[in-house]
Each structure stands twice: as structure tokens, then as C-alpha cells.
Amino acid sequence: MSAATISSPRAALVGRRTGWTAAAVVALLLAVLLSLAVGARHIAPGVVFDALLHGGTSESAEIVRSLRVPRTVVGVMVGAALALAGTVIQGITRNPIGDPGVLGISQGAAVGVVLAIAFAGVHTLAGYVWFAFVGAGVASVAVYAVASSGRGGASPLKLALAGAAVNALLISVIQGLLTTDAATLDEFRFWQVGSIAGRSAEVAGQIWPFLAAGAVLVLSVARGLDALALGDDVAKGLGQNVATVRIVGGIGATVLTGVGVSAAGPIAFIGLAVPHIARAIVGTDHRWVLPMAALLGPVMLLVSDVIGRIVFPPGEVPAGVMTALIGVPFLIAMVRRKAVSA
């Protein structure tokens, strides 16, 4: 009797989580289908399936295979990377507004890329992704050091301000470099806003090892993040090595952000909104939250990208612009609900 009453809520919880995860998978498949079908040329879902399964040489099949599939694959990877990074940053800073874009970490990676193109003569993604890692790492350490200095520790307000300051500083560095170096400007325009348009299949081929490495690092500290949520002292009491969790998680988040920015440019707010949605759905257990975020991040990015393709035809609005426009109302609602002001 008692065993049944204890286990049945637990079974119900697992059942609910599995159900929601299945729903998220369905949502992701729908988003992928949308991304393959919608654009300057609308292609019927039947034709999309046909092109994927049986090949075919029609013009629509060519568009799907050579343009939309790579774009969609990169979108899925970048969305998952940024959502995972945001979840971990929120976990290790114990702070609801952790987002690589808002905190200036993406901008740090972008500066790394610009410096690589301008001074080191590196022009391949596999080459400058390392510079992006270094840039993201330096920026994240700097922002966290600034925000956590002084009394009161790293509050949301101080993190957001430190992020705004570092963002402004890095943007001015980028602008200064770009104004004086026309060739770099031309190459960098590609990233500036954050977009997944025109990415080739090679990009996806080059980023997946880094993405996998980052995901493994992040998943390995899932239990540690759960303990951290209870506070440093409790986490220590539970036998977690707090410093290790923070360092491993931080490296994972830096790698994921660097990969995302190298492939698509600084795209903000996926890392902010998705973790909150994931936690609202499956609870606070990071072993569920992280996979959920990895499923929902691509949904948000692909849907933003699809909306960007159809709002201002024939031009396309970069996905980074749309994610910000969708994400900011989310931030405002959160601040108003007082989730943030503590």
C-alpha cells in the first residue's frame, strides 16, 4: 500500500516527463518540416518528403537538398548548443537571466572570430572556432568577475549590467576593426547579426565534434547543477565538488557558445527563454531539463528563422533579430513576475 502510494506519484512524474519529451520531439519534427518547406519558394510537404526519400532532380528537390537541409541542420545544432549553454549558465550562476547573448559571451566569441580573420589570417570555420572559444572564455570570466565583485555577489541586475558594458565595449572593438579593414568587414558581415541563412553542409560537418564534446561536458555535471540549485553550502554537504561543477560546466557552456557563434553569429535569447520553458515543463531535475532544452532550442531558432523568411518578402530577416524580438517580451514578463529582482 505505502510502497504503491510512494511509487505511483513518481511513476506519474516520469510518465509526464516522458510524455512532454515526446511532445517536444514532435514539435522539433514539425519545426524542421516548416524550415524545409517554407521560404521564398513554398514547397509542399509531400514534395519535401519525396525529395528527401527518393532524391529527384526537380528544382524544388534541389532547393530542399542543397539549401534548406544544410540550413536546417545547422539551425538544429546551433539552437541546441545555445539552449544547453544558457541552461548551464543559469545553473552555475544560479541566476535566471543567464544567456550567452545578454551576458556578452557571444560577443566575446565574435571578437575572437574578427581578430582571427583580421590578424591571424584564418578563414576557415575549423580554424577560427578556436579563437571563438578563447573569446567566449575570456568574456565569460570577465563578466562573472565584474558582476560578482563587491558586496551582494552576482545579482541579476549586476550580471545584466556587466553584460551590457562588456557587449558595448566588444561591439566598439568590432566596429573599430571593421571600419579600418574593408576586407574583414566583407567577411564578417556574415555573422554580425546572427543568421543561419546560406550555411553549407560543411559547416554542420565541422561543428558537430565540438557540439558533441560540449554536450558531454554539460550533461556530466547535471547532478552537480541540481545540487548547486540548493546553494553552495548544501551542495558541498551533499558531497558535490562545487568548484569542479562550475569549471566543467563553464567550459562546456563556453565551448557550446563558441560553436554556436562560429556557425551562426551572436544569436541572443535562445539561451534565456528555452531553459525557463524547459524547467516549467519537466521540473528542476537537470537530467531532464538539459535534453528538453536541447529539443526546444532548435524549435525556437527554426521557427524564428522561418518567420524571418516570410515577414518581409523578398528579403529575409536574420534569425538573430527574430529571436530577440520573441525573447525580449519573455524577459520583461519574467522581470515583472519578480522572478528576477531578488
Tell me which residues touch another protein (CB under 8 A): 97, 102, 146-147, 149-152, 155-158, 160-162, 164-166, 168-169, 171-173, 175-176, 179-180, 193, 268, 312, 315-318, 320-322, 324-325, 328-329, 331-332, 335-336, 340-342
User: Which contacts (CB < 8 Å, 24+ apart) does range 279-284 have?
Assistant: 281/20, 281/24, 282/16, 282/17, 282/20, 282/21, 283/13, 283/17, 284/226, 284/229
Least separation in angstroms between residue 178's CB and another protein is: 9
Decide: 65 and 51 in contact? Cβ < 8 Å.
Answer: yes
| Residue 93, all three cell numbers | 550562476
Least separation in angstroms between residue 17's CB and another protein is: 31
Least separation in angstroms between residue 287's CB and another protein is: 30
Least separation in angstroms between residue 153's CB and another protein is: 9
Q: Between 47 and 317, name the residue whose CB sits nearer to another protein.
A: 317
Number of other residues whose CB lies within 10 A of the CB of residue 329: 10
| Residue 62, all three cell numbers | 534541389
Q: Between 97 and 302, name the residue whose CB sits nearer to another protein.
A: 97
Q: Between 233 and 312, name the residue whose CB sits nearer to another protein.
A: 312
Q: Between 19 and 153, name the residue whose CB sits nearer to another protein.
A: 153
Q: Between 80 and 147, name the residue whose CB sits nearer to another protein.
A: 147
Decide: 274 and 90 in contact? Cβ < 8 Å.
Answer: no
Q: CA-to-CA distance for 232 and 278, rounded, in angstroms?
A: 23
Peptide bond into 318 cis (omega under 30): no
User: Which contacts (CB < 8 Å, 24+ apart) does range 281-286 have?
Assistant: 281/20, 281/24, 282/16, 282/17, 282/20, 282/21, 283/13, 283/17, 284/226, 284/229, 285/226, 286/87, 286/91, 286/222, 286/223, 286/225, 286/226
Q: CA-to-CA distance for 100 and 192, rounded, in angstroms?
A: 15
Number of H helices and E strands in the chain, helices first, is: 15, 0
Q: Between 132 and 197, name the residue whose CB sits nearer to another protein.
A: 197
Least separation in angstroms between residue 177's CB and another protein is: 10
Least separation in angstroms between residue 106's CB and another protein is: 12
Sign of the alpha-carbon dihedral angle for 265, 268, 272, 275? negative
Q: Between 164 and 242, name the residue whose CB sits nearer to another protein.
A: 164
Least separation in angstroms between residue 238's CB and another protein is: 29
- CA-derived radius of gyration, the chain: 21
Least separation in angstroms between residue 317's CB and another protein is: 6
Q: Between 45 and 176, name the residue whose CB sits nearer to another protein.
A: 176
For the chain, how long is the longest CA-to-CA vector? 76
Q: Between 184 and 206, name the residue whose CB sits nearer to another protein.
A: 184
Least separation in angstroms between residue 163's CB and another protein is: 8
